[in-house]
Amino acid sequence: MCGIVGYVGRSVDGGIAGHSALDVVLEGLRRLEYRGYDSAGVAVVSKGAIESRKKSGKLSNLIAELEAHPLPETVTGIGHTRWATHGGPTDRNAHPHLADGGKLAVIHNGIIENFAELKLELLDKGVTFLSETDTEVAAALLADIYRNKLAGDTADGRLTRAMELACQRLEGAFTLLAVHADQPDVVVAARRNSPLVVGLGEGENFLGSDVSGFIDYTRRAVELGQDQIVTITADTVEITDFFGNPAAGKEYHVDWDPASAEKGGFSSFMEKEIHDQPDAVAQTLMGRSDINGRLTLDELRIDPELLKQVNKIIVLACGTAAYAGMVAKYAIENWCRIPTEVELAHEFRYRDPILDANTLVVSISQSGETMDTLMAVRYAREQGAKTISICNTNGSTIPRESDAVLYTHAGPEIAVASTKAFLAQITAAYLLGLYLAQLRGNIFSGQIKDVLADLNKIPAKIQKILDNAEPLRELARSMANEKSVLFLGRHVGYPVALEGALKLKEIAYIHAEGFAAGELKHGPIALIDDGQPVFVVVPSPRGRDSLHAKVVSNIQEVRARGARTLVIAEEGDEAVKAYAEYVFYVPETPTLLMPLLNTVPLQIFAAELAAAKGYDVDQPRNLAKSVTVE
């Protein structure tokens, strides 16, 4: 999500022997703009002091601020572009955050899960907070350790030791960068479950959330491991773990050009965003439960007593988001026993729907600006319904006009065809369903913990799919001249089939349709002809019902009529092999969570097939990322 840059160069007699820290940091932030952000800021160390500038909005706003209030030319600096999580996108919440009387500056990516506990502890010590962010809590903690616990230490190495002790207290996913006026030629950084890479130069060293942050200056990079701290000066890079033990990173050479670097070395933003999905799901799950395993959806500021009275849920969305809503319906009804409808937002208000104060309307929108969905939400509120938004864009219109919001943390999605936002939306919908079940007592707390445990295993399972996807890509390339592909699924596999078909329509411009597999015999089977490719999303054979056997029968039905059957199945499902020309296996997971895995192969297939046809997968014809007209 957010962009991070750090730089230390060499000074000679108080001057600069090389690059200006501010120039390097601003160029790095410009390169990282593709990640998406809503504020930007920088800090430099000069003459025993920290000087900082930060502004909400685009990088141009920060540059204008720097032109009006210039910073000194120095050799040490850090910079940040923020995607708001804790606290809105304001000047005050922008990074860097200062502490230790203005002598310490900190920037941060990720989420500090135990920030509330730490904040209370620091408030008791008399610390004053100026923002709503968890980052300022981390800065205050670091300053408290630096100033008090390490009061007797010399300045040399003190910031690194303070970072080690601070990281031992922090929970969650984070990358932290810090500079201190007492050590003007040092940047210290820490990494846990959030990206950070070191750039190696001659008489200068760099830090970045990815190599785009410094690719204009060096192609030598060091990949940091989990729970590591790095201290850079102009001439040294030292890596330790959180307990001060020496550690090593992995050096590599960056072969991408600057344009490719923005895509992480992938050929398209869509491909990159497909590979972002383990992190997108993990970030959406991050910080949503307390130490007792109870869900704590702090953004849902609706009186729990009102939510307990809900007797009907309506999910509103368009396109891919509507398919996320269909998955949500299965989960919410299963866990909460509340009747749930899924409606296309652009049709909703024109049919005179029945709503009242006990109706909960859940809108799903990646951008938060989808006009059809916004108008439907406004209508629902006029009718007295409670409204909750699931959205990926902090501060956008739909969340602002809803009674409550549950933000996904997928990071910005550049490609028009949605991938990681879709999986994050499904994940958020699961959290909402579990939260409602927890409030209403529909399922035991132990069951909720079990589902959360299964959800937390999903990112690693998605990564396994990504790591083993080359045969699927080969299949897609071999099918570049196909004119039509059909998709079948049942239960939660049905919306996956619809989404798989939509991806092919959007970026490959070929006829593709998704069907409920049981609907085949009621008409669509007439489309089957010799060689017709049919993807089938097969449910787990471990389920308590007979859906697996029924879908295997559907495979046999289309195969008997000449179809080319391409199957997505769970590992260990040997029964499908006899009836499938091609099988792609995904890891085992509970049935309701299967869409988070089964969707990924279909995304990979569509992206590879479209690329093989020579199309721009990021910007397909006739489409826009956000539909802001009705």
CA distances from 487 to 527, 533, 577 (A): 12, 9, 18
Residue 119 CA to residue 300 CA, distance in Å, equals: 21
Instruction: Indicate which residue of 58, 449, 464, 625 is catalytic.
Output: 625
Cα dihedral: 395, 399, 405, 409 (round 10): -50
Residue whose tokens read 């009747």: 339
Q: Which DSSP category does 252 fall into?
A: E
Instruction: Indicate which residue of 2, 318, 336, 391 is catalytic.
Output: 2
Long-range Cβ contacts of 126-130 (<8 Å, 24+ apart): 130/92
Give the helix, strand, coil percentages of the chain, each rounded to 5.
40, 25, 35
Residue 46 CA to residue 54 CA, distance in Å, equals: 17
Is residue 2 flagged as an active site residue? Answer: yes
Strands 511-516 and 484-489: parallel
Q: Which DSSP category does 254 fall into?
A: -
CA distances from 378 to 34, 261, 356, 381, 399 (A): 32, 41, 14, 5, 11
Smallest CA-to-CA distance from 5 within 236, 181, 208 is with 208
Is residue 318 flagged as an active site residue? Answer: no
Phi then psi for 553, rounded to 5 degrees?
-65, -40
**CB-hemisphere CA count at 13 Å for 203?**
9
Please, are residues 48 and 179 in contact by the beta-carbon 8 Å criterion? no
HEC per residue, 49-93: EEEEEEEECCHHHHHHHHHHCCCCCCCEEEEEEECCCCCCCCCCC
At 124, the amino acid letter reads D
Q: Which residues are known catalytic residues?
A: 2, 625
